[in-house]
Amino acid sequence: MRTGLRQILVLLGLVTLLGCVAEGYQPAVSAAGDYRECLDRFPKNPENCNHLRTEANRQYDDYEDEAQENWDDAEDDINDINGWF
How does pLDDT run across 45-63, given as a tens digit for each residue?
Answer: 999 999 999 999 999 999 8
Residue 18: per-residue pLDDT = 67
DSSP the chain: -HHHHHHHHHHHHHHHHHHHHHHHHHHHHHHHHHHHHHHHH-TT-GGGGHHHHHHHHHHHHHHHHHHHHHHHHHHHHHHHHHHH-
**Total-model pTM:** 0.67
Exposure of 31 by Cβ count < 10 A (0-12 exposed, 13-18 middle, 19+ buried)? Answer: buried
Of 26 and 40, the one with more pLDDT: 40
Of 17 and 64, the one with more pLDDT: 64
pLDDT higher than 70, residue 43 = yes
Q: What does the alpha-carbon distance between residue 35 and residue 54 come to, in Å, rounded to a whole number?
A: 9
Residue 67: per-residue pLDDT = 84
